[in-house]
Amino acid sequence: MYQTALLLLSGPLRILIESIGPYLSWTNKKVTNCLYVKLEPELYSPFSKSDNISLKRLSTVVPVVYHKASSLCKNVDVRVLFGNLEQSKFTQRKQLNFDAVLTNCDPTDINTYLKQNYGKSCDNIIKLNEIDIPTCKEEFESDDAEFQTYKTVCLGGTFDRLHNGHKVFLSEAVLKASKELVVGVSDGVTLKRKVLWELIEPVEERIKDVTNFLEDIDPSLKYEVVPIYDVYGPTVTMPDIDCLVVTTETRVGGEKVNNERKNRGMTEVKLHIIDVVENTDRSKDEDEKLSSSTKRMHLLGKPLKTSKPSLITKPYCVLLRGHPLSGKSFIASKLQLSGVPVLCCDEILHAIFIKDSELKEFICKEFGGEIYNDGDSFDLEKLIIACLKSKEKKDCLEQLVLNKLTSTLQQVFQVYSEQESHTILVKDSSIFEGCELGIKVNEIWAAILPSSESIKLFKEHYQVTEEEAAELIDSLPSNEQYVAAANVLFCNKWSPDTTQQQVNRAYSYLKSIQKST
């Protein structure tokens, strides 16, 4: 296995495109990290001819390669390199690091080619087997006149966890630019419209990833990668921008840019529109296109960070936190069905409230007698909403009952410890969420929902107005706080099947911890 490799393919373009799938599939078994792909359609051994592949052809080919890579090389960072194009537009100058060269060419002169193009040689050159391709399909048409380039090109996006859809977008912009490419990377309030925006990487990291990718595929252009905080970014401050690359989804934003440029006395930019890349391997709740939202969804149920080995104890305690109605009960019940012992703080509190006459008297006095139904029956939901509405009363109740809760938890933990149980899940209290429970917690898992979803659920479940629901949610920890503290994150926004997938991933992670202890 190689961490990084160069896939160098030579031959007619149609043959290369038809064979790229099998080659990527084979390469996926050999490369673990990064695969550079270099197509040399008209370059035959020896490597002395210039590659005259047209820009239009390359623009057609790049999406095909990345589309196939999305299904055949899911865990490999594939990057299509541009080089040796007409008029040396994309002369390779950046020295790339790769451990092996995989090629369908005669390996005899490969190192000569590598030194000419990448300034290095390679000891590991692997000759690929030829692939039989039907001869009935026609060659790609070439019409360079239709593919216009521009001195300064611009595009914008979030570019979170760079994926193959981003790579097609960025590559097309590189092909359109003859001198400079300006990239705006979204940040600030614009992110909050995104799914699971709390998991979006810091803008500094996203800028670094975009810059690294661009310099890899074409080091000959000047790049300016900057944060943007609205739909316009540098397009309304840089008059010299000639072309704006957009997708079919962001075309409206491009039209807004031109309207604003006209208002400021600037010339309109040419809008170059490309299609998004289809996600052919998606579940029912995932986007139809390749998207960062889907990649963030795939983080749910997986460890965002892990405990230090020195903190691992038995039983290994996971505290499940989250707002009321966030899906904690569903998640806990599914883990319990998988064999994970679950302690529910609300159930313990319910038993305490029923048995403790002093607490009953306090609750009836402060919160009203309707909390207790028919004498001994206790309505925990009514107490939860009452505590959410009055922090002062909740704090008084906490002083009376929290010690009783922690004492019960400690007793149960002692039993599990004596039984040498490996793991235990504690579902945090909906009333005293986030309070110190007096037990050793190894990891915090959290369930979150978008604010709009939480408001809707609070409104329906607790029979309050939308404004009241928003105020209640604002009094609780924010999603950002949960994400910052969580080792594992869940989101119950989608179908039960999607939440179950998150639980399955979390359970697999928990089993791996058991093996390590």
Residue 466 clears pLDDT 70, i.e. is over it: yes
For residue 145, the model assigns a pLDDT of 54
Q: Quick count: other Cβ atoms within 10 Å of Cβ 120?
A: 12
What would the pLDDT profile of 324-360 be if each residue is shown by its tens digit? 999 999 999 999 999 999 999 999 998 998 888 888 8
Please tell me which of 36-50, 309-323, 452-466 the model is most confident about, judged by mean pLDDT.
452-466
The stretch 95-108 carries a mean pLDDT of: 89
For residue 507, the model assigns a pLDDT of 97
Average pLDDT score over the chain: 88
For residue 43, the model assigns a pLDDT of 53
Residue 136 clears pLDDT 50, i.e. is over it: no
For residue 47, the model assigns a pLDDT of 32
> Can you tell me whether residue 455 is helix, strand or coil?
helix
Burial class (CB in 10 A: 0-12, 13-18, 19+), 375: exposed
CA nearest 83: which of 116, 111, 112?
Answer: 116
Between residues 90 and 110, the one the model is more confident about:
110
The stretch 259-286 carries a mean pLDDT of: 92
Based on C-alpha coordinates, what's the Rg of the chain?
Answer: 29
Lowest-confidence range among 203-207, 282-286, 439-443, 471-475?
Answer: 282-286
Assign 308 a pLDDT band (cuts: 50, 70, 90): low
For residue 14, the model assigns a pLDDT of 78
> CA-CA-CA-CA torsion for 365, 435, 480, 384, nearest 10 degrees?
-30
Residue 89 clears pLDDT 60, i.e. is over it: no
For residue 96, the model assigns a pLDDT of 85
Residue 139 clears pLDDT 70, i.e. is over it: no
What would the pLDDT profile of 28-75 be if each residue is shown by its tens digit? 999 999 999 998 876 543 333 233 356 788 888 899 999 999 999 999
For residue 12, the model assigns a pLDDT of 78
For residue 49, the model assigns a pLDDT of 27
Residue 468 clears pLDDT 80, i.e. is over it: yes
Strand pairing report for 377-378 and 372-373: antiparallel
For residue 118, the model assigns a pLDDT of 82
Residue 476 clears pLDDT 80, i.e. is over it: yes
For residue 87, the model assigns a pLDDT of 36
For residue 376, the model assigns a pLDDT of 64
Judge contact between 322 and 428, C-beta under 8 A. Answer: yes
Judge contact between 383 and 350, C-beta under 8 A. Answer: no
Facing residues of 39 across strands? 9
For residue 50, the model assigns a pLDDT of 34
Burial class (CB in 10 A: 0-12, 13-18, 19+), 58: buried
Between residues 85 and 501, the one the model is more confident about:
501
Between residues 373 and 124, the one the model is more confident about:
124
Assign 513 a pLDDT band (cuts: 50, 70, 90): confident
Residue 462 clears pLDDT 50, i.e. is over it: yes
CA nearest 16: which of 45, 48, 38?
Answer: 38
The stretch 85-109 carries a mean pLDDT of: 71
Assign 13 a pLDDT band (cuts: 50, 70, 90): confident
For residue 379, the model assigns a pLDDT of 86
For residue 364, the model assigns a pLDDT of 87
For residue 129, the model assigns a pLDDT of 82
Q: Tell how many helices (H) and how many strands (E) occur in the chain.
A: 16, 17
For the chain, which domains are there?
1-131 (3.40.50), 148-279+289-299 (3.40.50.620), 303-515 (3.40.50.300)
Assign 374 a pLDDT band (cuts: 50, 70, 90): low
For residue 517, the model assigns a pLDDT of 62
Distance in angstroms (rounded) separating the CA atoms of residues 158 and 192: 11
Q: Quick count: other Cβ atoms within 10 Å of Cβ 32?
A: 15
Q: Phi and psi of 225, rounded to 5°?
A: -110, 115
Judge contact between 118 and 4, C-beta under 8 A. Answer: no
What would the pLDDT profile of 152-193 be if each residue is shown by its tens digit? 999 999 999 999 999 999 999 999 999 999 999 999 999 999
Prior bond to 107 cis, omega within 30? no
Residue 297 clears pLDDT 80, i.e. is over it: yes
Judge contact between 227 and 191, C-beta under 8 A. Answer: no
Prior bond to 219 cis, omega within 30? no
3 state SS for 72-141:
HCCCCEEEECCCCCHHHCCCCCCCCCCCEEEECCCHHHHHHHHHHHHCCCCCCEEECCCCCCCCCCCCCC
- What secondary structure letter does DSSP report for 277? P
For residue 416, the model assigns a pLDDT of 82
